[in-house]
């Protein structure tokens, strides 16, 4: 796969838009991986048990950004 670093930001955005447009017109149904349902059920159970901390979106973004530094 070729690196995208040589493209300008505008070119990258155009490419992203073309990909998104193509995906939104795809008529083939998307099948989630088999493990996905298990992970969702586990998260639901942890939430119901009070084991999951709920954050406002802005707070969650700050936390994620600080963890990436």
pLDDT, one tens digit per residue, over 10-63 is 999 999 999 999 988 888 888 899 899 999 999 999 999 999 989 999 999 999
Asked whether residue 53 is assigned to any structural domain, the reply reads: yes
Residue whose structure tokens are 């700050």 = 62
pTM value is 0.48
Task: State both tokens at 47.
Answer: 């939430």
Distance of CA 58 to the CA centre of its chain: 16
**Are the C-beta atoms of residues 4 and 12 closer than 8 Å to each other?**
yes
Asked whether residue 41 is assigned to any structural domain, the reply reads: yes
Among 27, 29, 2, 28, which residue's Cα sits nearest to residue 15?
2
Asked whether residue 62 is assigned to any structural domain, the reply reads: yes
Asked whether residue 8 is assigned to any structural domain, the reply reads: no
Asked whether residue 61 is assigned to any structural domain, the reply reads: yes
The domain in which residue 64 lies consists of 35-69
Asked whether residue 65 is assigned to any structural domain, the reply reads: yes
Asked whether residue 63 is assigned to any structural domain, the reply reads: yes
Q: Into how many domains does the chain fold?
A: 1
Asked whether residue 40 is assigned to any structural domain, the reply reads: yes
């Amino acid at each position: 796969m070729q690196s995208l670093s040589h493209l300008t930001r505008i070119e990258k955005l155009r490419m992203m838009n073309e990909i998104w447009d193509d995906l939104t017109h795809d008529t083939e149904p998307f099948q989630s991986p088999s493990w996905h349902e298990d992970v969702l059920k586990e998260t639901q159970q942890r939430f119901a048990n009070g084991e999951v901390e709920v954050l406002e979106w802005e707070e969650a973004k700050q936390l994620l950004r600080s963890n990436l530094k």
